[in-house]
Amino acid sequence: MKMTMIRSVKGRVRYYTFELIPNLFGEWMVVRTYGSIKKLKPTGVIREIYDSAEVAAESIQSLINAKLKKGYTNRCAPING
């Protein structure tokens, strides 16, 4: 699953992307990438590993709720991939 959220503050457009990826050890990795739309490279990448997809999905949902409170909006519907 991959989801991108954006927000614009004072003419600067920021993005925040969440990805849920299974690894080779049966665990699930949440990858958060964020930065400015104008920059080629992301400002930061955060990787977190969870034992189950359910726990990882709960983590993503709480992060999404926090970003919505900060003014981010969904750029598009979640993409399974």
- Structure confidence by residue, pLDDT tens digits, 6-46: 999 888 999 999 999 999 999 999 999 999 988 889 999 99
Query: If pLDDT is split at 50, 70 and 90, which confidence band does 76 have?
Result: low
Query: If pLDDT is split at 50, 70 and 90, which confidence band does 77 have?
Result: very low
- Residue 4 confidence (pLDDT) above 80: yes
Residues whose CB falls within 8 Å of the CB of residue 74, separated by 6 or more in sequence, listed in order: 3, 4, 5
Contact assessment for residue 1 and residue 20, using Cβ atoms and an 8 Å cutoff: yes
> pLDDT value at position 54?
95
All structural domains of the chain, each given as residue ranges with its CATH number in brackets, are: 2-74 (2.20.140)
- Residue 79 confidence (pLDDT) above 60: no
Contact assessment for residue 36 and residue 12, using Cβ atoms and an 8 Å cutoff: yes
Q: pTM here?
A: 0.82
> pLDDT value at position 21?
95
The letter for the amino acid at 11 is: G
DSSP 10: T
